[in-house]
Every structure is written in structure tokens, then in C-alpha cells.
Amino acid sequence: DAGVIQSPRHEVTEMGQEVTLRCKPISGHNSLFWYRQTMMRGLELLIYFNNNVPIDDSGMPEDRFSAKMPNASFSTLKIQPSEPRDSAVYFCASSLYQGDNEQFFGPGTRLTVL
């Protein structure tokens, strides 16, 4: 089992550029979560999907952020345009929701916006 796969692992970009983060959940899992982690704010849930449908995007900071899940094995988180305050580690997690919801995290993407 490969676990949750995220790419890229590190991204350095300049302010104003578009950034796309990618995630492949564990096969068979029906829920996918995008988190952002910073020293100041800790781990924040941005959005989550169940069966490829966005269920709660209340954590998405603003319209510059968007997420898609076109199929059960792939999701993207896009930031356009990026700003320095978006610098953080972005995690993707997946779970097989059956009442209890243990989540399996990917290794994260460290984003630096200059």
C-alpha cells in the first residue's frame, strides 16, 4: 500500500503565480481532506470531499483557493494568484468513513511564496 501520495513535495514560487498541489488518496477510501499547517494557526481543514463531492469548503481562505476531485483517485488544490501569506505545508488526507474516521495523511507539500 503506497499510502497517500502528494506532489510536489516542495514548491517555491513567486507572488502572483499559480500553484497546483496534487493528491492521490489511498485506493478504496471515500473521503479526502486538504489541510494547511502553519506555526501560527496550526493545522486547519480547508475542504473535504466525500465520494468526489465537496462537502465542506468553509475553511477555504478566499476565492484564490479552489479544489477539485475529478475522480476517486485524484484531487488538486489550486492557488491563483499566490501570495506570501500562503506559505505553509499543505497536507492531503484520506479515510474510509464508516462512523469512525481515522485519517491517513500524505507527506505534505511545503509551499514557499516569495
Partner 1 sequence: SQQGEEDPQALSIQEGENATMNCSYKTSINNLQWYRQNSGRGLVHLILIRSNEREKHSGRLRVTLDTSKKSSSLLITASRAADTASYFCATPQGGSEKLVFGKGTKLTVNP
CB 109 within 8 A of CB 10: yes
62 or 100: whose CB is closer to partner 1? 100
CB 78 within 8 A of CB 65: yes
Q: How far apart are CA 96 and CA 39, in angstroms?
A: 29
Q: How far is the CB of 16 from partner 1 (least distance, A)?
A: 28
Determine the 3-state secondary structure of 31 from DSSP.
strand
48 or 65: whose CB is closer to partner 1? 48
Burial 12-41, CB ≥16 within 10 A → b, else e: ebeeeeebebbbbbbeebebbbbbbeeeee
38 or 80: whose CB is closer to partner 1? 38
Binding site for partner 1 (CB under 8 A): 4, 31, 33, 42-43, 45, 48, 50, 55-56, 91, 93, 95, 97, 100-108
86 or 108: whose CB is closer to partner 1? 108
